[in-house]
Amino acid sequence: QIEQIDIGGPTLIRAAAKNFEHVAVIVRPADYEWALLRLQAGGLSREDRALLAYRAFAHVAEYDALIADWFRRFDPDGALPETLTLTYRLAQRLRYGENPHQQAAFYREPFAPHGCIATAEQLWGKELSYNNLLDADAALELVREFEQPACAIIKHTNPCGVALGESITEAFLRALEADPVSAFGGIVACNRPIDREAAEAMVAPGTFFEVVLAPDFAPDALPLFQERKGWGQNVRLLRTGELPPPSQLHGYAVRSLTGGALYTERDTIDWNPDALQVVTERTPTESEWVDLRFAWRVVKHVKSNAIVVAKGGVVWGVGAGQMNRVGSVRLALEAAGEHARGAVLASDAFFPFPDSIDLAAQAGIRAIVQPGGSKKDPEVIAAANETGIAMVFTGVRHFRH
């Protein structure tokens, strides 16, 4: 592999680009016809040659960055290197960014893994927007958490419906039932192919979705979306291929700051039974353990402060993005309503005070999973014991900003 690294080619390209005042260097076949037309019309202007020089330097820079990335494995500090050189390729120019007055484009990693939003194939519908891509990515990363059929409905990167089922149809209907109001205009992701039965459920009267993505779509399912009156012509249908589990997608995420960037390991840690600690007098029942695991996997995909109320493999209430934890608890319990009785509750971080436990008990919550680690843990545990709630500490926090 080392012998495949080109030395002379990049050197010649750099030299020609540096001498752009007198030389035109072309590295993209797509530029051949453009350059030929200009030559036939009298020649390449200085601005034309400068543009070609820019593309040449960018081409060589990407080549060098990919080689450096391969060699980074030999650096003891390679996971967090002194110089971070990343390269992405333009995948799509977007109509606008997060808002209409912002420009935007979608860039793809040169070797993006299969089964992710960057490699998904759009089978139908309008051009994807900036917000569509953000929400679709959030939906896909959530459903890949589960081994059995799962469906997630996302609005503004937060789940408003998540459920498991014996089939994708059942999972979708259960997810929709939890919050049909918020689901309207949302993004639907499934971790199994969508068959005709599931498509019929998704296009039923009263529904509207911006994006539907799944590993695949049955041939007889596609026309049901395409011919759906009202929004069928616009709905974006994305085929992702088989979804690898989070454990196979280790890597790092980049967040832009003004004047810099944050580079962090992805949160792919899974439920670890050996690390769990039951801290209350009551131990969760077998069914509560199942729901605690389900809720814990969902809550790490909710914006902090995050609370999830679940029962029977369905998320019935979500509290997201509140500035205090008890506020998120109130929202989740209110959304769950009567479904909170006998349900479990998951929190992405510890409870700073026992007030959240009191609210959960009043609503009928029977078990709670949280990281633990608060100075008030003894008071929180005491509140759980007083109300008969089983509480499990994971030792793992799942902040999401």
| CATH number of 204's domain | 3.40.140.20
Task: Supply the pLDDT for residue 3.
Answer: 86
Preceding amide of 305 cis, omega within 30: yes
**What mean pLDDT, rounded, does the chain reach?**
96
CB–CB of 161/182 below 8 Å? yes
- Which of 244-248, 264-268, 328-332 is the most confident on average? 328-332
pLDDT tier at 62, thresholds 50, 70, 90: very high
**CA torsion, points 35, 38, 39, 40, in degrees to nearest 10?**
120
Of 319, 311, 294, 316, the C-alpha closest to 400 is 319
Domain match, 132 and 211 both: yes
> Is residue 157 a part of any domain in this protein?
yes
Do 224 and 322 lie in a common domain?
A: no
**Taking residues 160-187, what's their average pLDDT?**
97
Nearest to 398 by CA among 320, 317, 303: 303
Any domain includes 306: yes
Given a cut of 80, whether residue 18 has pLDDT beyond it is: yes
Give the tens place of pLDDT for each residue, 277-298. 999 999 999 999 999 999 999 9
Question: Which of helix, strand or coil describes residue 189?
Answer: strand
Average pLDDT over residues 73-77: 87
Residues 202 and 298 in one domain: no
Q: Is residue 100 part of a domain?
A: no
229 and 128: one domain? yes
What is the domain-level CATH number for residue 25? 3.40.50.1380
Q: Are residues 147 and 40 in the same domain?
A: no
Residue 337 counted as domain residue = yes
Beta bridge partners of 255: 262
> Strand 236-239 to strand 252-257: parallel, antiparallel, or no bridges (unpaired)?
unpaired
Cα separation of 353 and 379, whole Å? Answer: 7
Q: What is residue 285's three-state secondary structure?
A: coil
Give me the residue label for tokens 């436990």: 357
- Angle 243-245-249 (CA atoms, 0-180°, nearest 5)? 95
Task: Note the pLDDT of residue 249.
Answer: 87
Domain edge (last residue) among 239, 255, 288: 239
Domain that holds residue 284: 273-393
**What is the C-alpha separation between 379 and 364, in angstroms, rounded?**
19
Rounded to an integer, the average pLDDT of 353-377 is: 97
- Kindly report the pTM of this predicted structure: 0.93
Distance of CA 156 to CAs 56, 267, 396, Å? 39, 20, 25
Question: Residue 255 — very low, low, confident or very high, per pLDDT cuts 50/70/90?
Answer: very high
What average pLDDT score do residues 164-187 get? Answer: 97
Please state the rounded mean pLDDT for residues 391-398: 97
Q: Nearest-CA neighbor of 400 among 226, 264, 271, 275?
A: 264
If one counts every other C-beta atom within 10 angstroms of the C-beta of residue 110, the result is 11
Catalytic residues: 18, 156
**Three-point CA angle 18, 20, 25, nearest 5°:** 95
Closest among 212, 208, 214, 256 to 237, alpha carbons compared: 212
Among the three residues 74, 93, 111, which one is the final residue of a domain in this structure?
Answer: 74
- Looking at the structure, tell me whether residues 283 and 381 fall in a common domain: yes
Give the pLDDT confidence score for residue 250 in this predicted structure: 79
pLDDT at 1 over 80: no
For residue range 81-111, list pLDDT tens digits in order: 989 999 999 999 999 999 999 999 999 999 9
Task: State the distance between the two ends of the chain, measured CA to CA, in whole angstroms.
Answer: 40
Instruction: For residues 60 and 128, state if they share a domain.
Output: no
The answer for residues whose C-beta is within 8 angstroms of residue 398's C-beta and 6 or more apart is 267, 299, 300, 306, 348, 349, 371
Question: Are 135 and 216 found together in one domain?
Answer: yes
Q: Is 92 among the domain residues? A: no
Is residue 130 domain-shared with residue 35, that is, in the same domain? no
pLDDT tops 80 at residue 208 = yes
- 159 and 66 in a common domain: no
The phi, psi pair for 96, rounded to 5°, reads -165, 180
E strands along 165-296, which residues? 186-190, 209-214, 236-239, 252-257, 260-265, 277-278
What tokens appear for 205 in the block? 């009267």
Q: Do residues 300 and 379 share a domain? A: yes
Asked if residue 250 belongs to a domain, the reply is no
Among 217, 239, 261, the domain-final residue is 239
The mean pLDDT of 171-183, rounded to a whole number, is 97
Whole-angstrom distance, CA of residue 310 vs CA of residue 47: 61
Nearest-angstrom CA–CA distance, 40 and 152: 56
Quote the pLDDT of residue 325. Answer: 96
pLDDT band at 152; cut points 50, 70, 90: very high
Residue 96 lies in a domain: no
| Contacting residues for 169 by C-beta, under 8 A, at least 6 apart | 195, 197, 198, 201
* 367/296 same-domain check: yes
- Helix, strand, coil % (nearest 5) of the chain? 40, 20, 40
Domain presence at residue 139: yes
* Alpha carbon distance 131, 303 (integer Å): 16
Per the structure, the count of domains in the chain is: 3
User: What's the mean pLDDT in 321-333?
Assistant: 97
Q: Is the pLDDT of residue 251 over 90?
A: no
